[in-house]
Each structure stands twice: as structure tokens, then as C-alpha cells.
A and B are shown apart, each in its own frame.
Chain A
């Protein structure tokens, strides 16, 4: 103690100590940025699980594969746009292609979602929940096989629509893509929040989540609301798929399985049926995965990360924002 005081008196902040502190901070912030990007994907996908659950009391296990289909549709749209632009010898800036790709793919993928609801879930609405759950698994496999059959087995390289620019801020590296991904995800989450809070359709969804037996008697069509929920969830999955393609430009037909499972974990962790919870838990899961790998050997990452999740569930069995026996869409 005394020695330290004395040392400080001569040299208030030893250079090497300061340097070490700084490198620690750089390391921390670098991982913070990594985690923000990774968490965005979980959050976007978890939202889809959560919305469907709150309306229909079922987990759409095909959601991870809808995310995959969204990425492939995004790939198709982007390639089509670029081919069209070069055909008409018209210079299309990359960001514009990206914006159009996201919007158009959301539109197209929402039809995939509605189709899945129409052929997969609607006929089984009165069936036991387990039957509906395995329907999701089967649809997932069908979607994978359709892509495999239609596109072939080779990996697809998502076109680099915007050039990667890497910024270094005091040794923390951040790319324009990372900023874009986090920004776009957050704005879509905000848009969903406003939609559910401020519009009549949103109100209908909230009402349906409150009670899907009585509300249809008041003249709200459950079929229409269910289709809309699937459409919105799938559109968000498409956004996640395209952003995923931008960040990790290797697409394969099975990429949605593990990712879907982990996002499902986030949806449960957030509290079943809670939009806010799904968003927060998605980011939390990203943070846990990244920071566990930062502190512990990376071999143990998933063991430790998911033990933590398990522990959280032991203390909060209904997740962060969930309530016992309630599927209210709470905002």
C-alpha cells in the first residue's frame, strides 16, 4: 500500500499500467461491438417466434428455416437486380440494391410465412399442440429440401453489395456493415413496436393475444390476424437473413437449424409471447456467447453460455417478461 502510494507520488500513472488498462478497454469494446451485431440476429428471429406464440399459442419451429429461405430470396433478388441493372447498362449504387433487396425480400418472404400458416398450421388449429409443433419441424425439413433441390448443394456466396470500410477508433475496429446491421435491426424492432402499439391492426393483434376465443366473436378475423402475424414474423426473418448474408456471406440450406434453435432459446428466455423480452433476450444471448468466449477457453463457449441460460430459467421460469399461464402480448 505504502509502496504504491509512494510510486504514484513520483509517477502518478505508470505508462505500462495505463497501456494495459487501455488494451483491456479496447478488448472489451471490440467484443461489445461483436456482441451487438451477433445479438441483432438472435433478436430479429426471436421476435418471430414470440409473436406467433402470443397469438396462436404455438411455436413455429419452421421459423429458423424461414430465415434461411429469406436469405436465399434476398440472394435471388439482389442478383436479379444487379443483372437487370447491367442489362440496361445502368449503374445502380450498392446501397440502393440493398435497400430494394431488403424491402422486396420482406414482401416475398411474408408470402412464404402466410403460405406456411395456411397449409401447415390452419388445418391443425384445433389439433393437439404437439401435432402443430411437429408440423413446424416437418415444414422446416421441406423448406430445406426445396432449397437444396432448387439451388443445388454448393454454397452460395452472397454478393458484397456495399464495400466494407473498416474504421479504427483508438484500436477498436468497426466496419460500416456492422453499424448498418445493428442500425437496421433496431429500426425494424422499433417499427414493429410502433405498429403493435399505435395501429388498429396492432390493437387487433394485442386483443387476439389476450384471448383468442372471445375476440373472434367480436368480429376480428382470427385467420386474417394469424396470417398477418406470420407475414410480419417472416418479413423480419427475411431482414435477418439478408443482414446475415451481408455479414457472413456464405449461405447453405441448413444454416437456419441451429440458429433457429438458439433464437428459440432467446424467445423463451425473454418470456413467451413478449416482444420486448424477445428483443432483449436476443441481444443478451449474443452478449453471453461472445463474452463467455472472451473470458473462458472458446472450446467451452456453448457449455458455459447455455448453462448460464439454464440458470436464469431456474430463477425466472417464465423468462424475463413472461407471466404464468399468460400469453399476453405485452409491450
Chain B
């Protein structure tokens, strides 16, 4: 018995050595990692990410693979679920980098996961692009991390200026989730911008809650009492529905303004009539889109049965940026370390890009400069283009 085991182990070692001796061979497939919230708090975001990536893969497969230099490579997507949790996103990145040996990672989407996951990618020298994360920390001092959207220091003032110019208000209230990077960061940028415009103390109520809360009555009662003229709440779609409905039930009849996290296909479905007529800032507006954007929307709608939200569109742009970087890198050597470095360098050289969410020019940090869109939720529950605000 023991002898058998011994022979078995020896065989394994011999076979292993044989494979090892073969050394790195020029690969025939390119692996791209997708780090997305398939389950957890914002599954619709994960779904949009997955669908956009799979649609892109279809294009590549239809063309017979991704052409890099002279050779055609097959592309494989490694999709990992980060459960919309920071620690799971870190785990997913580590796994994809060390076990699946992906060349590039697309995702995670929300800043809560993208900030810690970006650290892992940077540490392992693996290029990563977050399509949707607007928090500056995601790419700051991380040469290997890029993004496909504008930043919160831009979005905060955009919303503040919009409210000021549109309504002429001077007193605003903010309600945000203190336990999540994205709402917390954006709430701070909005507050700073608003106080620049209207003087200190013009944010008359600055209230918070923590993830998973469902009852906001106490905070909203305080906000109503404060005499605020407008409420800004940079929350995700599941909370938006609850906040807006509860505010109306407590007698709030003034505008509620949101940020790009509102732009999900689920927002109106969960929120209903209460959200009609409200505004939010975002990356693109599906209604009234033209050209390549419209083409993408129609195709997505036909394939999956609903209008893609901003996450889908941004993921599409991000993965096409990745494609551009890989193509301009030229040759895949099969040496993972060298290829990752090369793709990163090629990525950093992209200065301009024409995406379906607008034209982008990239800064030194790996952040694009692009326009923001103000969307109004129409009385039919559609996201209507209202205004475009450029840097």
C-alpha cells in the first residue's frame, strides 16, 4: 500500500517535471478577468457588466479572435463574482492574477470594491481598468490602474452647479451611506462645492446611515425640519427607492437630486412614480442617443431585453480600451510578467479614445476627462437627456 503511494508520488513529480521542462510556450489564448458584483447588494450592475463583456466577446469570436501583431488569439473571459463586498473583490482579483493568470482585469465597478482591489492589481503589476468607479483613490499613485469614467471631484461640482443654475436654491441637504466609499466621497465633494457657491453653512443638513439600513425616517425628518430646499443623495438604486418614497411620505415635496449610481435599469422599477421628475448626473443618457451609442443600445436591448444602463455602456468602453491596448502592444510573448507590463505601457500611451459614453482624453493618473450628463426621469419613467456639462 505504502509502496503504491510512493510510486504514485514519484510518477506525479516526473510528469510535473516533464511539463515544467517544456517552459513557457507562446500561448494561443488571451485571458481577460472580469471582477463584477454578480450577487450581493447591486446584482443589476454585475449583470450589466457581464452582458456587455459577453457581447464584446461575441464580436471578437465572430472576427475569429483578437488580432495582435500577426497572430489571431482566442479570448477567454474569466468572470469572478465579488458579491459587492470589498474583501471578496480583493480575493477575486488575487485569484484571477495568480491562478487564472489573466493579462488584464476589467472591474470592479463600485469604488467600495475598486479601491481595495486596485491595490492588489497594482501590487501584482497587473493592469486593471474600473469602468464605473468614480472615487479618486482607485487610480491615485497606482500606475497599473485605470478607469473609464469621470471622477467625483468633477461630479460633485457638476451637481452643485446644476442645482444652483437650474433652481437658484441656497440651502441643500445631503443624505448618504457613511459605510461606503462612493457615497461618502461624493457627499463630501458635493458639500465642498455647494459651500463654495453658497457660503459656509449652506448645507443645512448632512445626514448619514449605514449600508443595509431600510428606515431613513429619522434622518429625513431632520432634513425636512432643517428647511433645506433640495436633497442630494448619492446612493445606489435599492436605497434610492426607499429614500425617495419615505421622503414623500414624510411630507417632502421639493426636488431630490442624485448621482451616477442612480442610473440603473432597476431604479425606476423599484422606486415607481415617486422618482418621476427627479434629476441625476451620469455618464450617458440612453434616450435620444445617436451613432455608435445607439447601435450599442439597440443591440443590447435586442439581446437582453432591456435598455443598458451606464454600467453596461462604460464596461463596453473599458473593454474596448483594453482591446486597443492589447492590440497596440503588438506581440504576446507568453511571459506573463512582461506581457502585463507591456499592456500597461500601451494603455498609458492611449491619449484619446472615442467611446460610446463620449470622447475621452486621459491624464497622467490614468483618468479620462469626459463630459457629464444630467438626466431627468420622465413621467414615463425613462431616463431623458436634460443637459450636458463638460469640464
Contacts and interface: CB of A to CB of B under 8 A. Distances in A.
B218 to A, nearest CB: 4
A191 to B, nearest CB: 25
Contacts of B332: none
A290 B217 contact: yes
A153 interface: yes
Contacts, number: 96
Interface stretch (B10-18, B36-44, B314-322, B377-385): B36-44
B39 A293 contact: no
Nearest to A294: B218
Interface size class of chain A, counting residues whose CB lies under 8 Å from the partner chain: 35 or more
Nearest to B41: A252
Interface string B176-213: 00100000000000000000000000000001111010
B301 interface: no
A248 B266 contact: no
A92 interface: no
Given A164-B249, A173-B250, A252-B238, A155 B210 contact: no
A152 B248 CA distance: 30
A89 interface: no
A157 B208 CA distance: 24
A148 B39 contact: yes
A294 B241 contact: no
Contacts of B251: 166, 168, 171, 173
B369 to A, nearest CB: 33
Given A250-B238, A298-B218, A302-B210, A153 B38 contact: yes
Interface stretch (B103-111, B131-139, B219-227, B286-294): B219-227
A75 B267 CA distance: 19
B221 A258 contact: no
A252 B212 CA distance: 10
B337 interface: no
A195 interface: no
Nearest to B84: A153
Interface stretch (A30-38, A50-58, A319-327): A30-38
Given A173-B249, A302-B210, A155 B221 contact: no
What's the dominant secondary structure at chain A's contact region? Answer: helix
A330 B15 CA distance: 71
A287 to B, nearest CB: 11
Contacts of A257: 212
Nearest to B206: A297
A34 B238 CA distance: 20
A160 interface: yes
B272 interface: yes
A187 interface: no
Contacts of A30: 221, 250
B215 A34 contact: yes
Nearest to A172: B251
A31 B241 contact: no
A241 to B, nearest CB: 12
Contacts of B209: 298, 301
A178 to B, nearest CB: 8
Nearest to A148: B39
Contacts of B78: none
Contacts of A301: 209, 218
A293 B223 CA distance: 12
Contact of A258 (B212, B242, B272): B212
A249 interface: yes
B389 interface: no
B221 A248 contact: no
B208 A298 contact: yes
B80 to A, nearest CB: 15
B258 interface: no
A50 B40 CA distance: 30
Contacts of A290: 217-218
A154 B222 contact: no
Contacts of A152: 43
A257 B211 CA distance: 12
B46 interface: yes
A27 B221 contact: yes
B222 A153 contact: no
B9 interface: no
Contacts of A166: 248-249, 251
Interface string B255-282: 0000000000010011010000000000
B270 A250 contact: yes
A242 to B, nearest CB: 14
Given A250-B241, A250-B242, A302-B210, A294 B222 contact: yes
Contact of B269 (A157, A160, A168, A247): A157
A23 B222 CA distance: 12
A153 B219 contact: no
3 nearest A-B pairs in the assembled complex, by CB-CB distance? A153-B43, A34-B217, A293-B218
Given A249-B241, A255-B214, 5 more contacts: A153-B38, A157-B270, A291-B218, A293-B219, A298-B218
16 contacts: A35-B218, A153-B47, A155-B44, A157-B241, A166-B249, A173-B251, A247-B215, A248-B215, A249-B242, A250-B241, A252-B41, A293-B222, A294-B221, A297-B207, A299-B208, A301-B218
Interface of B: 38-41, 43-44, 46-47, 178, 207-210, 212, 214-215, 217-219, 221-222, 225, 237-238, 241-242, 245, 248-251, 266, 269-270, 272
Interface of A: 23, 27, 30-31, 34-35, 37-38, 148, 152-155, 157, 160, 164, 166, 168, 171, 173, 175, 177-178, 244, 247-250, 252, 254-255, 257-258, 289-291, 293-294, 297-299, 301-302
